[in-house]
Amino acid sequence: MIALLALFVVIAAAWLWTPDLKRADLEARYSRGPHDFVEVAGLRLHVQDKGPRDAPVVILLHGFGGSLQTWDDWTRLFEPGLRVVTLDLPGAGLTGADPSGNYTDARATVVLLALMDKLGIARASLVGHSMGGRLAWQFAAAHPDRVAKLVLVSPDGFASPGFEYGKAPEVGISLKAMKYVLPKPLLKMSLAPAYRHPEVMTPALVTRYHEMMRAPGVRAAMIARLEQSVLQNPVPILARITAPTLLVWGDRDAMIPIANADDYLKAIPGAQLQTFPGVGHLPQEEAAELSGKAILRFLQS
Protein backbone atom coordinates (compact mmCIF):
# COMPACT_ATOMS: atom_id res chain seq x y z
CA MET A 1 0.00 0.00 0.00
CA ILE A 2 2.77 2.45 0.94
CA ALA A 3 4.62 1.59 -2.26
CA LEU A 4 1.49 2.25 -4.34
CA LEU A 5 0.90 5.57 -2.58
CA ALA A 6 4.50 6.60 -3.19
CA LEU A 7 4.17 5.67 -6.86
CA PHE A 8 0.96 7.75 -7.12
CA VAL A 9 2.71 10.77 -5.60
CA VAL A 10 5.63 10.44 -8.03
CA ILE A 11 3.29 10.15 -11.03
CA ALA A 12 1.18 13.12 -9.89
CA ALA A 13 4.28 15.24 -9.32
CA ALA A 14 5.64 14.33 -12.76
CA TRP A 15 2.29 15.21 -14.38
CA LEU A 16 1.95 18.57 -12.60
CA TRP A 17 5.59 19.68 -12.78
CA THR A 18 5.86 22.61 -15.21
CA PRO A 19 9.46 23.48 -16.14
CA ASP A 20 10.62 26.74 -17.68
CA LEU A 21 10.71 26.91 -21.45
CA LYS A 22 13.88 27.62 -23.43
CA ARG A 23 14.57 31.32 -23.87
CA ALA A 24 15.75 30.90 -27.46
CA ASP A 25 12.47 29.23 -28.44
CA LEU A 26 10.38 31.93 -26.78
CA GLU A 27 12.38 34.75 -28.35
CA ALA A 28 11.97 33.15 -31.78
CA ARG A 29 8.21 32.97 -31.22
CA TYR A 30 7.46 36.25 -29.46
CA SER A 31 10.12 38.79 -30.49
CA ARG A 32 10.99 40.36 -33.83
CA GLY A 33 14.71 39.78 -33.37
CA PRO A 34 17.75 41.12 -31.45
CA HIS A 35 16.72 44.75 -32.10
CA ASP A 36 13.76 44.20 -29.71
CA PHE A 37 16.15 44.05 -26.74
CA VAL A 38 17.59 47.14 -25.04
CA GLU A 39 20.24 47.25 -22.33
CA VAL A 40 18.87 49.53 -19.62
CA ALA A 41 19.63 49.90 -15.89
CA GLY A 42 21.41 46.53 -15.76
CA LEU A 43 18.55 44.78 -17.58
CA ARG A 44 18.02 43.34 -21.04
CA LEU A 45 14.55 44.75 -21.63
CA HIS A 46 12.23 43.34 -24.26
CA VAL A 47 10.91 46.47 -25.99
CA GLN A 48 8.87 47.07 -29.12
CA ASP A 49 9.08 50.58 -30.55
CA LYS A 50 6.64 51.21 -33.40
CA GLY A 51 5.16 54.12 -35.32
CA PRO A 52 6.61 57.38 -36.66
CA ARG A 53 9.71 58.53 -34.77
CA ASP A 54 8.65 62.18 -34.99
CA ALA A 55 5.14 61.54 -33.58
CA PRO A 56 4.02 62.03 -29.96
CA VAL A 57 5.08 59.06 -27.82
CA VAL A 58 2.90 56.74 -25.76
CA ILE A 59 4.37 54.06 -23.46
CA LEU A 60 2.16 51.17 -22.37
CA LEU A 61 2.76 49.22 -19.13
CA HIS A 62 1.13 45.80 -18.66
CA GLY A 63 -0.25 44.29 -15.46
CA PHE A 64 0.86 41.52 -13.13
CA GLY A 65 1.38 38.23 -14.97
CA GLY A 66 1.08 40.00 -18.32
CA SER A 67 3.42 40.88 -21.15
CA LEU A 68 3.63 43.47 -23.90
CA GLN A 69 1.46 41.34 -26.22
CA THR A 70 -1.60 42.41 -24.22
CA TRP A 71 -1.34 45.73 -26.11
CA ASP A 72 -1.13 44.31 -29.65
CA ASP A 73 -4.61 45.45 -30.73
CA TRP A 74 -4.23 48.94 -29.28
CA THR A 75 -0.77 49.24 -30.83
CA ARG A 76 -2.23 48.62 -34.28
CA LEU A 77 -4.79 51.37 -33.66
CA PHE A 78 -2.27 53.84 -32.23
CA GLU A 79 0.82 53.47 -34.39
CA PRO A 80 -0.32 55.28 -37.56
CA GLY A 81 -0.30 58.57 -35.63
CA LEU A 82 1.73 57.85 -32.49
CA ARG A 83 5.09 56.39 -31.60
CA VAL A 84 4.10 53.38 -29.47
CA VAL A 85 6.55 51.84 -27.00
CA THR A 86 5.62 48.61 -25.23
CA LEU A 87 7.84 46.54 -22.95
CA ASP A 88 7.95 43.46 -20.79
CA LEU A 89 8.43 44.90 -17.32
CA PRO A 90 11.28 43.57 -15.15
CA GLY A 91 10.38 40.05 -14.04
CA ALA A 92 7.95 39.50 -16.92
CA GLY A 93 7.91 37.96 -20.38
CA LEU A 94 11.08 38.02 -22.42
CA THR A 95 12.71 40.60 -20.14
CA GLY A 96 12.77 37.94 -17.45
CA ALA A 97 14.28 38.21 -14.02
CA ASP A 98 15.94 41.41 -12.81
CA PRO A 99 19.53 40.56 -11.79
CA SER A 100 19.17 43.02 -8.91
CA GLY A 101 16.33 40.97 -7.42
CA ASN A 102 14.55 44.27 -6.80
CA TYR A 103 10.90 44.30 -7.92
CA THR A 104 9.71 47.32 -5.97
CA ASP A 105 7.74 50.13 -7.59
CA ALA A 106 10.71 52.43 -7.01
CA ARG A 107 12.89 50.13 -9.12
CA ALA A 108 10.29 50.19 -11.92
CA THR A 109 10.38 53.99 -11.91
CA VAL A 110 14.17 53.95 -12.27
CA VAL A 111 13.95 51.47 -15.16
CA LEU A 112 11.25 53.42 -17.00
CA LEU A 113 13.15 56.68 -16.66
CA ALA A 114 16.34 55.03 -17.92
CA LEU A 115 14.45 53.52 -20.88
CA MET A 116 13.05 56.91 -21.88
CA ASP A 117 16.53 58.41 -21.72
CA LYS A 118 17.97 55.51 -23.73
CA LEU A 119 15.34 55.92 -26.46
CA GLY A 120 15.70 59.70 -26.51
CA ILE A 121 12.14 60.30 -25.27
CA ALA A 122 11.95 63.56 -23.36
CA ARG A 123 8.19 63.34 -22.73
CA ALA A 124 5.56 60.68 -23.30
CA SER A 125 2.00 59.78 -22.45
CA LEU A 126 1.72 56.76 -20.17
CA VAL A 127 -0.90 54.03 -20.31
CA GLY A 128 -0.87 51.49 -17.48
CA HIS A 129 -3.10 48.52 -16.75
CA SER A 130 -3.73 47.17 -13.25
CA MET A 131 -0.27 46.86 -11.64
CA GLY A 132 1.11 48.79 -14.62
CA GLY A 133 -1.42 51.50 -13.81
CA ARG A 134 0.02 51.80 -10.32
CA LEU A 135 3.51 52.10 -11.78
CA ALA A 136 2.26 54.70 -14.27
CA TRP A 137 0.63 56.98 -11.70
CA GLN A 138 3.64 56.75 -9.39
CA PHE A 139 5.93 57.72 -12.27
CA ALA A 140 3.62 60.60 -13.26
CA ALA A 141 3.69 61.93 -9.69
CA ALA A 142 7.48 61.60 -9.38
CA HIS A 143 8.37 62.97 -12.84
CA PRO A 144 5.56 65.30 -13.98
CA ASP A 145 7.84 66.97 -16.54
CA ARG A 146 8.23 63.64 -18.39
CA VAL A 147 4.51 62.78 -18.68
CA ALA A 148 2.21 64.42 -21.23
CA LYS A 149 -1.00 62.48 -20.53
CA LEU A 150 -1.91 59.60 -18.25
CA VAL A 151 -4.33 56.73 -18.91
CA LEU A 152 -5.05 54.34 -16.04
CA VAL A 153 -6.81 51.12 -17.03
CA SER A 154 -8.35 49.44 -13.96
CA PRO A 155 -5.36 50.66 -11.94
CA ASP A 156 -4.08 49.02 -8.77
CA GLY A 157 -3.00 51.05 -5.76
CA PHE A 158 -5.70 51.31 -3.12
CA ALA A 159 -5.50 48.54 -0.53
CA SER A 160 -8.00 45.75 -1.10
CA PRO A 161 -9.20 43.29 1.58
CA GLY A 162 -6.26 41.35 2.98
CA PHE A 163 -3.73 44.11 2.20
CA GLU A 164 -2.48 46.90 4.44
CA TYR A 165 -0.58 50.07 3.66
CA GLY A 166 3.06 49.91 4.68
CA LYS A 167 3.09 46.13 5.04
CA ALA A 168 4.15 43.42 2.60
CA PRO A 169 1.51 40.73 2.03
CA GLU A 170 2.04 37.14 3.05
CA VAL A 171 2.49 34.94 0.00
CA GLY A 172 0.95 31.54 0.63
CA ILE A 173 2.45 28.17 -0.16
CA SER A 174 -0.01 27.61 -3.02
CA LEU A 175 1.25 30.71 -4.83
CA LYS A 176 4.87 29.82 -4.17
CA ALA A 177 4.22 26.39 -5.68
CA MET A 178 3.54 28.15 -8.99
CA LYS A 179 7.31 28.21 -9.45
CA TYR A 180 7.21 24.46 -10.05
CA VAL A 181 3.57 23.66 -10.83
CA LEU A 182 1.57 25.58 -13.42
CA PRO A 183 -0.52 23.28 -15.63
CA LYS A 184 -2.34 25.17 -18.38
CA PRO A 185 -5.87 24.23 -17.17
CA LEU A 186 -5.06 25.71 -13.74
CA LEU A 187 -3.78 28.93 -15.31
CA LYS A 188 -6.91 29.17 -17.46
CA MET A 189 -9.03 28.91 -14.31
CA SER A 190 -7.07 31.72 -12.65
CA LEU A 191 -7.41 33.94 -15.74
CA ALA A 192 -11.14 33.38 -16.15
CA PRO A 193 -12.36 36.00 -13.60
CA ALA A 194 -10.55 38.72 -15.58
CA TYR A 195 -12.84 38.24 -18.59
CA ARG A 196 -16.55 38.97 -18.69
CA HIS A 197 -16.88 37.03 -21.95
CA PRO A 198 -15.21 33.58 -21.75
CA GLU A 199 -14.96 33.29 -25.54
CA VAL A 200 -12.21 35.92 -25.47
CA MET A 201 -10.00 33.33 -23.76
CA THR A 202 -9.02 31.55 -26.95
CA PRO A 203 -6.55 28.65 -26.81
CA ALA A 204 -3.95 30.95 -28.41
CA LEU A 205 -4.43 33.61 -25.71
CA VAL A 206 -4.16 31.08 -22.86
CA THR A 207 -1.07 29.56 -24.48
CA ARG A 208 0.55 32.98 -24.73
CA TYR A 209 0.00 33.73 -21.04
CA HIS A 210 1.19 30.26 -20.11
CA GLU A 211 4.37 30.45 -22.17
CA MET A 212 5.23 33.97 -21.02
CA MET A 213 4.95 32.85 -17.39
CA ARG A 214 7.20 29.89 -18.19
CA ALA A 215 9.97 32.12 -19.52
CA PRO A 216 13.15 31.48 -17.49
CA GLY A 217 12.95 33.03 -14.02
CA VAL A 218 9.58 34.73 -14.51
CA ARG A 219 7.56 32.77 -11.96
CA ALA A 220 10.17 33.26 -9.25
CA ALA A 221 10.21 36.97 -10.12
CA MET A 222 6.41 37.17 -9.85
CA ILE A 223 6.56 35.68 -6.36
CA ALA A 224 9.34 38.07 -5.39
CA ARG A 225 7.32 41.04 -6.69
CA LEU A 226 4.37 40.01 -4.52
CA GLU A 227 6.63 39.65 -1.49
CA GLN A 228 8.07 43.13 -2.12
CA SER A 229 4.74 44.87 -2.81
CA VAL A 230 4.39 47.33 0.03
CA LEU A 231 1.50 49.66 -0.78
CA GLN A 232 1.59 53.25 0.40
CA ASN A 233 -1.46 55.45 0.91
CA PRO A 234 -1.94 56.67 -2.67
CA VAL A 235 -3.94 59.82 -1.97
CA PRO A 236 -1.04 62.26 -1.34
CA ILE A 237 0.89 60.77 -4.27
CA LEU A 238 -2.05 61.00 -6.69
CA ALA A 239 -2.59 64.64 -5.68
CA ARG A 240 0.81 65.50 -7.20
CA ILE A 241 -0.19 64.37 -10.70
CA THR A 242 -0.41 67.27 -13.14
CA ALA A 243 -0.90 65.39 -16.42
CA PRO A 244 -4.43 65.23 -17.87
CA THR A 245 -5.70 61.85 -16.68
CA LEU A 246 -8.24 59.40 -18.07
CA LEU A 247 -9.48 56.48 -15.98
CA VAL A 248 -10.66 53.49 -18.00
CA TRP A 249 -12.79 50.71 -16.51
CA GLY A 250 -14.92 47.80 -17.61
CA ASP A 251 -18.08 47.96 -15.53
CA ARG A 252 -17.94 44.18 -14.99
CA ASP A 253 -14.37 44.14 -13.69
CA ALA A 254 -14.21 41.33 -11.14
CA MET A 255 -10.54 41.91 -10.25
CA ILE A 256 -10.47 45.62 -9.38
CA PRO A 257 -14.08 46.82 -9.11
CA ILE A 258 -15.22 49.98 -10.85
CA ALA A 259 -16.20 51.38 -7.44
CA ASN A 260 -12.47 52.10 -6.97
CA ALA A 261 -12.74 54.75 -9.69
CA ASP A 262 -14.34 57.13 -7.20
CA ASP A 263 -11.18 57.11 -5.07
CA TYR A 264 -9.06 58.10 -8.07
CA LEU A 265 -11.50 60.77 -9.27
CA LYS A 266 -11.36 62.38 -5.84
CA ALA A 267 -7.57 62.20 -5.58
CA ILE A 268 -6.36 63.16 -9.08
CA PRO A 269 -7.06 66.77 -10.04
CA GLY A 270 -9.32 66.98 -13.10
CA ALA A 271 -9.38 63.23 -13.80
CA GLN A 272 -12.04 61.86 -16.17
CA LEU A 273 -13.66 58.41 -16.24
CA GLN A 274 -14.50 56.32 -19.32
CA THR A 275 -16.44 53.11 -18.65
CA PHE A 276 -17.23 50.21 -20.97
CA PRO A 277 -20.45 48.27 -20.29
CA GLY A 278 -20.22 44.50 -20.14
CA VAL A 279 -16.40 44.49 -20.11
CA GLY A 280 -14.13 42.89 -17.53
CA HIS A 281 -10.62 43.61 -16.28
CA LEU A 282 -8.85 43.66 -19.66
CA PRO A 283 -10.61 46.08 -22.05
CA GLN A 284 -7.50 46.08 -24.26
CA GLU A 285 -8.17 42.42 -24.99
CA GLU A 286 -11.94 42.12 -24.48
CA ALA A 287 -13.13 45.29 -26.22
CA ALA A 288 -9.96 46.34 -28.00
CA GLU A 289 -11.38 48.47 -30.81
CA LEU A 290 -14.02 50.26 -28.76
CA SER A 291 -11.73 51.04 -25.83
CA GLY A 292 -8.68 51.71 -28.01
CA LYS A 293 -10.46 54.33 -30.11
CA ALA A 294 -11.70 56.13 -26.99
CA ILE A 295 -8.18 56.25 -25.57
CA LEU A 296 -6.72 57.36 -28.90
CA ARG A 297 -9.14 60.31 -28.97
CA PHE A 298 -7.98 61.29 -25.49
CA LEU A 299 -4.29 60.98 -26.38
CA GLN A 300 -4.68 63.04 -29.58
CA SER A 301 -7.05 65.66 -28.17
Alpha-carbon separation of residue 59 from 66, 86, 229, 246, 277 (angstroms): 15, 6, 23, 15, 26
Find, among 104, 99, 95, 62, the residue nearest to 224 by Cα.
104
Residue 210 designated active-site: no
CB atoms under 10 Å from CB of 151, counted, come to: 25
- Tell me if residue 47 falls in helix, strand or coil: strand
Between CA 40 and CA 115 the distance in angstroms is: 6
List Cβ neighbours of 76 (8 Å cut-off, separation of 6 or more). none
Torsion sign across C-alpha atoms 49, 55, 57, 62:
negative
Distances (CA, A) of 173 to 6, 26, 92, 162, 178: 22, 28, 21, 16, 9
Tell me how far apart the alpha carbons of residues 60 and 87 are, in angstroms, rounded to a whole number. Answer: 7
Query: Which is the catalytic residue, given 46, 129, 210, 281?
Result: 281
Q: How far is residue 215's CA from residue 46's CA, in Å, rounded to a whole number?
A: 12
Catalytic residue set: 281
